[in-house]
Amino acid sequence: MATGTGRPWWAPPPYTAAEVPSTPPFPSPPSSFTADPPEEFLCPISGSLMADPVVVPPGQTFERACIQACAALAFSPPAVATDLAVSVSSSAPLVLIPNVALRTAILNWCDRLGLPHPAPLPPATAHDIVRRLMPPQREDQSAKLQRPQAAASVRVRRQSVDGFVLQEPSSKQRGDALEGEVMAVLGAEGATPAEQASALASLRQATRENKEGRRQLCTPRLLAALRPMLLSADAGVQVNAAAAVVNLSLEPENKVRIVRSGAVPPLVDVLRGGHPEARDHAAGAMYSLAVEDENRAAIGVLGAIPPLLELFAGAAGYRARREAGMALYHVSLSGMNRSKIARAPGAVRTLLAAAEARDRSSEADAAALRRLAVMILANLAGCPDGRAALMDGGAVAAVVRLMLNGSAAPGSAEEEYCISTLYGMSRGSMRFRGLARAAGVEAALQPVAEGDGSVGRDMARRTLRAMRGEDDDAPVTATRLLGRQWDDGSVVSEGLVSIRRPPHRSTYAAGPSGSNTTQF
């Protein structure tokens, strides 16, 4: 509707001489310039050439200061779409994504015509413009309509603004809008690392606790855009990209999709030489993805085992070593990967060192890593290559030491894994007999074999008979244990191969960086 002055009714009137702001929104063009800028270069709220354009759900672009002023005053002018009006009027923080492509186009247009670049609109000026758009009764009450602070965090579900009934956008609409905003930055050639990191931080936040958002945002387009971000030389970009991958991987239906998208090779590169925090996230992603049985062989084939072993053995923090250990454990549940781990240089030495390590300053952490190490050792004992590597690496003596010195306490899960490891090495191996006698296996296993029917008693007895060269053709399943076939045809207790298998966690305490293991 026109106002008789040649401008829309909602556009701000020209300033009077007394109202001219001390700092103009942007420098005036030369007097000889008569061409109008393209409409998409102008902020729908101020009508001015945009200096700092930002995209806001559901995809509209505004001058940053103007949309922030609308949010601060809880006012949505007609230029704002209905879906966005709810966000502007609610207590939730606005997601502002720099519109890099549009800003570049505006600057190129100015350069082509010899015009100075526009300057960002001062916040005071933006507030004044928005107040001029408000009806008189709304302007008088603007102080009461400021955005609620943390103490008043009641979210607006339905609200009437200037006669329009606004519905809160659906989760799918919000997900589609955020995907578009993130892709607008990640797909822009001129995007700076800071802008990429900001967009990825928004994605990381959106996928942190919202299960539905994780499902909706795990799209082929977004996964393809995340791959190069994992290889970025900028720490902020790499860290946020790796954390976003972890968050997306939390949903079971996303795990196979992520591996098939080609995310594993860049995650492996991050494990090998990425930023320390990104490396922690990459280990967490490998663990999360390896929980899915269908992914395990692919993770092993794509080269994740050596860097995971290096991380588990290295001087990294506890969280990184724990995530690497959990990833190795789940990967080692695949028979193909057991042989890969066994043949990896230094793998047995790494696992035995972690199993025997003692740390008086943090015994709980050392105990958790010790358990992971013996869990993996027990899995390796389930294949011929693993048994040979374990005996070559001195695992018989090391496991016996764990049982005799109390590191694997009687009746504990660690003891049961140690028994499973010794039993696996004893299967069909003449070499085991000599190593077992020298290491004192009988002293470690005899108390268990004479025990009161614990899960490990039958395996302890069979291991002792194998060490003594006694024939024992009775299947393990005769002990009423749940049998599971091993690679060489022998049967091992499911209760010992995977007893107390750690569940896939949904939460962990936040670390020093403010992130946590499964929701970063």
pLDDT 10s digits, 269-305: 999 999 999 999 999 999 999 999 999 999 999 999 9
Quick check: 354 pLDDT over 80? yes
Quick check: 334 pLDDT over 50? yes
Quick check: 478 pLDDT over 60? no
Q: What is the Cα–Cα distance from 386 to 306, expressed in whole angstroms?
A: 16
For residue 93, the model assigns a pLDDT of: 61
Q: Write the CA distances from 105 to 39, 41, 50, 97, integer angstroms.
A: 12, 8, 11, 16
Q: What is the Cα–Cα distance from 390 to 157, expressed in whole angstroms?
A: 62
The helix-helix angle for 395-404 and 413-426 (nearest 10°) equals 150
Quick check: 191 pLDDT over 90? no
Report whether the peptide linkage leading into residue 13 is cis, meaning its omega lies within 30 degrees of zero: no
Tell me which of 152-166, 221-235, 468-482 is least confident. Answer: 152-166
Mean pLDDT of 459-486: 62
Q: Write the CA distances from 468 to 47, 244, 434, integer angstroms.
A: 91, 55, 10
Confidence of residue 90 (pLDDT cuts 50, 70, 90): low
Q: What is the Cα–Cα distance from 74 to 64, expressed in whole angstroms?
A: 15
Quick check: 502 pLDDT over 70? no
Tell me which of 4-8, 59-63, 424-428 is least confident. Answer: 4-8
Q: What is the Cα–Cα distance from 426 to 439, expressed in whole angstroms?
A: 13
User: Strand pairing partners for 160?
Assistant: 165
84 vs 191, more confident? 191
For residue 56, the model assigns a pLDDT of: 81
1 vs 322, more confident? 322
For residue 390, the model assigns a pLDDT of: 95
Integer Rg of the chain from CA: 32
For residue 341, the model assigns a pLDDT of: 95
Mean pLDDT of 184-204: 88
Q: What is the Cα–Cα distance from 350 to 377, expressed in whole angstroms?
A: 11
CB neighbours of 184 closer than 8 A, spacing ≥ 6?
55, 97, 99, 100, 101
User: For 112-158, what is each residue's pLDDT tens digit?
Assistant: 888 889 998 888 888 888 888 887 765 544 444 444 333 333 333 33
Which segments of 229-388 are extended strands (E)?
A: none
Confidence of residue 171 (pLDDT cuts 50, 70, 90): low
179 vs 270, more confident? 270
Phi, then psi, of 42 in degrees rounded to 5: -100, 140
For residue 87, the model assigns a pLDDT of: 57
Confidence of residue 519 (pLDDT cuts 50, 70, 90): low
The torsion angle over the Cα atoms of residues 396, 381, 421 and 297, rounded to 10 degrees, is 130
DSSP-assigned letters across all residues of 25-43: SSPPPPTT--PPPPGGGB-
Looking at the chain, the whole-number percentage of residues with pLDDT higher than 90 is: 42
1 vs 248, more confident? 248
Distance in Å from the first CA to the final CA of the chain: 49
Q: What is the Cα–Cα distance from 389 to 173, expressed in whole angstroms?
A: 54
**What is residue 164's three-state secondary structure?**
strand
Nearest 5°: the CA angle 233, 182, 159 is 145
Confidence of residue 518 (pLDDT cuts 50, 70, 90): low
Q: What is the Cα–Cα distance from 178 to 180, expressed in whole angstroms?
A: 5
DSSP-assigned letters across all residues of 77-113: -TTS-HHHHHHHHSSSPP--EE-HHHHHHHHHHHHHH
Cβ-contact 88, 28 below 8 angstroms: no
Confidence of residue 77 (pLDDT cuts 50, 70, 90): confident
The residue whose two tokens read 């758009």 is: 133
Mean pLDDT of 352-374: 87
50 vs 360, more confident? 50
- Find, among 185, 176, 256, the residue nearest to 217 by Cα: 176
Q: What is the Cα–Cα distance from 245 to 240, expressed in whole angstroms?
A: 9
Confidence of residue 88 (pLDDT cuts 50, 70, 90): low
37 vs 480, more confident? 37
Confidence of residue 24 (pLDDT cuts 50, 70, 90): very low
Q: What is the Cα–Cα distance from 25 to 46, expressed in whole angstroms?
A: 10
**What is residue 462's three-state secondary structure?**
helix
Nearest 5°: the CA angle 325, 328, 330 is 110
Mean pLDDT across the chain: 78
Phi, then psi, of 383 in degrees rounded to 5: -140, 155
CB neighbours of 367 closer than 8 A, spacing ≥ 6?
none
450-459 long-range contacts, Cβ below 8 Å, gap at least 24? 454/411, 454/416, 455/416, 455/481, 455/493, 455/495, 455/496, 455/499, 456/415, 456/416, 456/419, 456/420, 456/496, 458/493, 459/419, 459/420, 459/422, 459/423, 459/492, 459/493, 459/496
Nearest 5°: the CA angle 124, 126, 132 is 105
Q: What is the Cα–Cα distance from 506 to 497, expressed in whole angstroms?
A: 24
For residue 86, the model assigns a pLDDT of: 56
The rounded Cα 172 to chain-centroid distance in angstroms is 21
CB neighbours of 277 closer than 8 A, spacing ≥ 6?
235, 239, 513, 515
For residue 137, the model assigns a pLDDT of: 60
